[in-house]
A and B are shown apart, each in its own frame.
Chain A
């Protein structure tokens, strides 16, 4: 048996990798992928704790998290496409004004 803390540590490291990606990279699409990575790290925690506590609520929550992730990706990537159309760039350092 693998102790639950191993899963939680793996999840914490995965979340940190996502945070590093969001803070360091400047490409909007890669930042978006790193957000997905963070959501997945949280999902891993949910499933591990769900097994630890003999409850299925964590797994059901994962289903909802995936639904939210899908909706977020649909709208977020549409925003990135619009951004690219208007400014011909997806480097977020060059997109620092809300309107012009």
Chain B
């Protein structure tokens, strides 16, 4: 029932108010005297070289793709786990086929070196 989710809504509103309130308060109350040293990522330590916005290596993309695919698998596993006892062996076999086919994909990714991170 939707009424059960009102605490979550209250939590979201509270979190939003807290985040917005903190940023707003610090920008209203705080002083703003910027010096080049203060604007650096680290006031003491190594000076940063170049821009912080560099291109990411494409490996991150492969990992994120694999994450999405197996996230979907988890989405299917969850309702299956809820009803597993009622489905008995039939449910086990159908989920076995599903996971086996996805496992082929994992092995492919492995053989292609998509999981390597030297």
Contacts and interface: CB of A to CB of B under 8 A. Distances in A.
The B interface is mostly helix, strand or loop, or mixed, namely: helix
Interface residues of B, number: 9
Given A70-B68, A74-B68, A74-B69, A63 B75 contact: yes
Interface size class of A (residues with CB under 8 A): 10 to 19
Interface in B24-41: none
Contacts of A77: 61
Interface in B67-82: 68-69, 71-72, 75-76
Contacts of A66: 72, 75
A33 interface: no
A78 B75 contact: no
Contacts of A73: 68
B107 interface: no
A73 B69 CA distance: 10
A67 interface: yes
Contacts, number: 20
B65 interface: yes
A48 B109 CA distance: 39
B101 interface: no
Contact of A70 (B58, B61, B72): B72
Contacts of B71: 70
Interface of A: 63, 66-67, 70-71, 73-74, 77-78, 81
Given A66-B75, A73-B68, 10 more contacts: A63-B75, A63-B76, A66-B72, A70-B68, A70-B69, A70-B72, A74-B68, A78-B65, A81-B58, A81-B61
Interface of B: 58, 61, 65, 68-69, 71-72, 75-76
20 contacts: A63-B75, A63-B76, A66-B72, A66-B75, A67-B72, A67-B75, A70-B68, A70-B69, A70-B71, A70-B72, A71-B69, A73-B68, A74-B65, A74-B68, A74-B69, A77-B61, A78-B61, A78-B65, A81-B58, A81-B61
